[in-house]
Amino acid sequence: MRDRLILLPGWGLGVSPLEPLAAALQGLDEHLHVHIEPLPALEASDLGEWLDELDATLPDNAWLGGWSLGGMLASELAARRGERCCGLLTLASNPCFVAHDGWPSAMPAQTFDAFLAGCHADSQVTLKRFGLLCGKGAEDPRGLARLLVSGAPHTPSGALMSGLELLAQLDTREALQAFRGPQLHLFAGLDELVPCEAATELLKLLPDVEVGLIEQAGHAFLLDNPHGVAGAIQAFLHECGDD
């Protein structure tokens, strides 16, 4: 199913931020089937459980992709599937979301801990704050933030917390190195959640994969400029198809 692309959304905001991108991709290639799969609604932060659910739900032999947390999960699932995955693409997805000694180009741990505490105290207020951070760097940051939050599903706070806890512990570097299929990783130059330096570090880690930086864009660049992102993805898929 080299004509099937499965996209996984980021934390908390549901599938709607990916819908304009899916429509733009299908507009560029009528033979490409794009499916957006909601993240598992689990109240546990065990990576194995999340991957088991996704692996059981999603068809084999498709391209896997995702935004932010969705891209990290797609990376892990691609490594698990190996030759059963056609290729991988991630959007604003850091191999490690929270900084540590081995990967400093990420959100500072103190900032993330405050975010986690805020979600525990009031998940809806935290989701609005998250939307504002996603919108920064866009042409209309507040408008984009409102659009993101208004389309978010009502997710129980326990599931939102488990998603954040999973985000904190994920380190996809081994998975990215293990997956031998084609890879495209797009980052944003004005991203408030994933430092643009992560693109440089990822290219050092994986010198043979495609890594791109959209300079004048924020974390939600896929929603701010779906046609531009779709063009980059389509060019990548076309290039891989010619190999």
Q: H or E segment at 53?
A: helix 47-57
In this prediction, residues 43-71 reach a mean pLDDT of 96
What is the average per-residue pLDDT within 191-213?
96
Residue type, 180: R
The pair of structure tokens assigned to 223 is 């929603």
How far apart are alpha carbons 115 and 79 in whole angstroms? 29
State the sign of the Cα–Cα–Cα–Cα dihedral 129, 131, 136, 139.
Answer: negative
Closest to 222 measured CA to CA, from 21, 69, 10, 26: 21
CA distance 165 to 212: 28
CB 60 within 8 A of CB 33: no
The whole-number pLDDT of residue 172 equals 98
What pLDDT is attached to residue 1? 46
Distance CA(177)–CA(205), nearest Å, equals 8
Please list, in sequence order, all residues whose beta carbon lies within 8 angstroms of the beta carbon of residue 144, skipping any fewer than 6 positions away. Answer: 134, 135, 138, 220, 223, 224
The pLDDT assigned to 2 comes to 74
pLDDT single digits (tens) 150-198: 999 988 888 999 999 999 999 999 999 999 999 999 999 999 999 999 9
Dist CA 202 CA 191 (whole Å):
16
Answer whether residue 32 shows pLDDT above 60: yes
Does 191 qualify as catalytic in the annotation? yes
Per-chain mean pLDDT for the chain = 94
Proportion of the chain above pLDDT 70, given as a percent: 99
Q: Is the pLDDT of residue 243 over 60?
A: no
Give the Cα separation of 54 and 59 in Å (integer).
9
Q: How far is CA 19 from CA 53, 151, 229, in A?
A: 22, 11, 13
- Residue 68 falls in the annotated catalytic set: yes
Beta-bridge mates of residue 213? 187
Domain range holding 34? Answer: 4-242
> What pLDDT, on the 0 to 100 scale, is given for residue 242?
58
Sign of CA dihedral 141, 214, 176, 25: positive
Q: Over 90: is that where the pLDDT of 225 sits?
A: yes
pLDDT, mean of residues 25-51: 94
Token pair in block for residue 173: 């570097």
Catalytically annotated residue among 75, 93, 171, 219: 219
The catalytic residue among 29, 68, 162, 208 is 68
CATH of the domain at 234: 3.40.50.1820
The proportion of the chain whose per-residue pLDDT surpasses 90, expressed as a percent, equals 91
- CA 223 to each of CA 16, 58, 184, 189, 191: distance values in angstroms, whole numbers, following the listed order: 9, 24, 18, 15, 13
Q: Give me the number of domains the chain comprises.
A: 1
The rounded distance, in Å, linking the Cα atoms of 159 and 108 is 23
Task: List pLDDT tens digits, range 95-129.
Answer: 999 999 999 999 999 999 999 999 999 999 999 99
Q: What burial class does residue 62 get, using C-beta atoms within 10 Å of its C-beta: 0-12 exposed, 13-18 middle, 19+ buried?
A: buried
Residue in the block written with tokens 């389309």 = 151
Write down the catalytic residue from 123, 185, 191, 224.
191
pTM strictly above 0.85: yes
Quick one: average pLDDT of 75-88? 97
